[in-house]
Structure 1
Amino acid sequence: MTKWNDTEVGTIGDAEELDLQSERTDGTLRPPVTMWVVRVGDQLYVRSVKGADGPWYRGTQSRHEGVVEAGGVRKDVTFVEAGSGEYADVDAAYRAKYGHYTTIIDTVLTEQARTSTLRLDPR
């Protein structure tokens, strides 16, 4: 497995938002979707507010590959479903980073959102 280098994980993890493009089955990229991204240790995570029914999340399931871009860093990634053992740390990262958005932070902390947690692995 390829690992993030310190600059990449730091820059993307510190960015307020991330643009994510998933690959279609023919290898072309879908249009970018802007979302929140969090860092837990040396890993990066995203979640769908609508859970597995979210359109961008469904798009990641065709090939489990795509591209992310944030803070001037663009990287090819693999979308890996996070295990339930990772949810608490990801929840804490969302609260720490985005908790000041008091009216919307809870949307990424629901069970529906948790079950759509994807780890972004560089490739």
Structure 2
Amino acid sequence: MSTWTDDELTRAGGADELQVSSYRPDGSLRPYVTIWVVRTGDDLYIRSAYGPDNGWFRRAKASGRGRIRVGGIERDVLFAPAAADVHEAIDASYHAKYDRYGARIVNTVVGPAVVETTFRLLPVD
């Protein structure tokens, strides 16, 4: 495993969306899904807006690894749980970046209900 470069954090954190895919058991990638991404500190986070039953989230959780594409970056990642003490900061990052879309939409990715659907994206070489 490696760390994000400053350039990757800037490009991914500044992008409105990223594409995420998980690996199938045979090693092939599933189709990419477009979702929101936030940078909090030196980490990137994604959340399932439609809960733990959302297909991409279930598959990513089961696989534990996948690939992202964003801002000219294409990297393999691990889907790791976020630390318990970072969720308030992640919420603040979502609000700062996406509040322009309105509370009805942003509220699907902030608050206690989405803690269990949060992935910290860990880059893999």
Question: Which TM-score applies when normalising by structure 1?
Answer: 0.94
SS in 2 for 1:115: helix
Question: For each residue in 1:36-84, what CA deviation from the matched residue of structure 2 results, as whole angstroms up to 9, or x when unmatched?
Answer: 0000011000000122211111011222111001111111111001132
- Post-superposition shift, 1:2? 1.1
Question: 1:105 is matched by which residue type in structure 2?
Answer: V
- Identity, in percent, stands at 42
Q: For 2:73 and 2:7, locate their aligned partners in 1 and report how far apart those are by CA, in whole Å.
A: 9
Whether the 8 Å CA contact 1:15–1:70 is kept in 2: the answer is yes
Whether the 8 Å CA contact 1:23–1:62 is kept in 2: the answer is no
- Structure 2's unaligned 5+ residue stretches are none
- Over the aligned positions, Cα root-mean-square deviation in angstroms equals 1.1
Alignment of 1:24-35 (within 5 A): 24-35=24-35
Whether the 8 Å CA contact 2:3–2:122 is kept in 1: the answer is yes
Name which of structure 1's ranges 53-62 and 40-49 shifts more when overlaid on structure 2.
Answer: 53-62
Whether the 8 Å CA contact 1:25–1:62 is kept in 2: the answer is no
Question: 1:72 is matched by which residue type in structure 2?
Answer: G
Name which of structure 1's ranges 35-44 and 76-85 shifts more when overlaid on structure 2.
Answer: 76-85
Q: Does 1:104 align with 2:82?
A: no
Question: 1:65 is matched by which residue type in structure 2?
Answer: R
CA 1:47 to 1:68, structure 2 compared with 1: closer, same or farther past 3 Å?
A: same
Number of residues paired by the alignment?
123
- Structure 1's unaligned 5+ residue stretches are none
SS in 1 for 2:27: coil
Q: For 1:111 and 1:9, locate their aligned partners in 2 and report how far apart those are by CA, in whole Å.
A: 25
Whether the 8 Å CA contact 1:13–1:39 is kept in 2: the answer is yes
Question: Which TM-score applies when normalising by structure 2?
Answer: 0.93
Deviation beyond 6 Å, 4+ runs, structure 1: none
Question: 1:121 is matched by which residue type in structure 2?
Answer: L
Q: Which residue number corresponds to residue 91 of structure 2?
A: 91
